[in-house]
Amino acid sequence: MFAEMNTICSRPKPFEFYTAEELWTNEHTAQKMLEYHLNEHIDLSSRNHDFINRSSQWITDYCDLGPGKSVIDFGCGPGLYTYLFAKSGADVTGVDFSQNSLAYAENRANENDLNISYFHSNYLDFDTNKKFDLITMIMCDFCVLSPEQRSIMLKKFNKLLKDDGKLILDFYSHNAFEKREEAQSYERNWMDYFWTAEENFVFLNTFKYESDNVTLDKYTVVTESDSFTIYNWLQYFAVDSLRELFDEHGLTVSELYSDVAGTEFAADSDEMALVAGKK
């Protein structure tokens, strides 16, 4: 028991383990995630639907989406954005590794006769010869990636973007990092059996890596027959470091906002969004 508690409380190196696939594609959690995506009132898995409507409208207007324009959305989930982008008449592609979410997205696109191609793939491995007018990755998914994975995605964005194309992404800021604190807790059947259908105990250890601007929510889930650990990493960014990172990958940040709905940039915002293009 002491040794097990020691393991539960142990602090890994930043981004030492990547468990996003287990989190999003496990049959039980994928179904829970889809319920959160589709709950229009909450900001879990996807943001609330009022925000998504405003955001997709802003992006559609900003990028003048319509027939002849092509869009790719990485980590599209159940296609809440891709659906709205496609309503403009644009040719839309969505990439996600959750088959559960994609099945919902595909049905909705077919029922509404929309021009959307969905790819069931880890976006780190995804490739195509097509070039796009707009690339999106929404709800700060870039922040869960390790430095190496970020680099893979930025190279991919550069390759897939048309010369005059736009890239729109959002991020957590240093301001959000300041608000995070280290903590340990445990709970029985956390969030109404989020992790497993059977009885479970969930240990949540939150670690803060001050010099890296990284946090980890480490969930250790224990059932009668099994135990597993999920690592939710978040990198928090400063504007200057983002500009540098994009620059190193041949991309120029042209505009900053507080969110992907075009809210004016505020230095004290917990989130920020950027528009970038090829250098």
Ligand X SMILES: C[S@@+](CC[C@H](N)C(=O)[O-])C[C@H]1O[C@@H](n2cnc3c(N)ncnc32)[C@H](O)[C@@H]1O
Residues that bind ligand X in the complex, under the rule CB under 6 A: 20, 24, 45-46, 75-77, 80, 96-98, 101, 122-124, 138-139, 141
In the complex with ligand X, the residue whose CB is nearer, 106 or 141, is 141
In the complex with ligand X, the residue whose CB is nearer, 217 or 243, is 217
Any long-range contacts for 5-13 (C-beta under 8 Å, 24+ apart)?
A: 7/220, 8/203, 8/205, 8/220, 9/184, 9/205, 11/205, 11/207, 11/216, 12/216, 12/218, 12/231
Nearest approach in angstroms of CB 59 to ligand X is: 12
Structure tokens at 52: 């998504």
The amino acid at residue 53 is N
In the complex with ligand X, the residue whose CB is nearer, 8 or 93, is 93
In the complex with ligand X, the residue whose CB is nearer, 7 or 99, is 99
Nearest approach in angstroms of CB 187 to ligand X is: 22
Structure tokens at 276: 């970038």
- Taking CB atoms, the residue at the shortest distance from ligand X is 75
Nearest approach in angstroms of CB 75 to ligand X is: 3
The pairing of strands 183-188 and 70-74 is: unpaired
Q: Which residue has the tokens 């592609």?
A: 93
How many whole angstroms separate alpha carbon 246 and alpha carbon 171? 13
In the complex with ligand X, the residue whose CB is nearer, 98 or 196, is 98
Other Cβ atoms closer than 10 A to 75: 20
Nearest approach in angstroms of CB 6 to ligand X is: 30
In the complex with ligand X, the residue whose CB is nearer, 223 or 263, is 263
Nearest approach in angstroms of CB 194 to ligand X is: 15
**Exposure b/e, 14-23, CB count within 10 A at least 16 = b:** bbeeebbeeb
Nearest approach in angstroms of CB 17 to ligand X is: 14
How many whole angstroms separate alpha carbon 73 and alpha carbon 79? 9
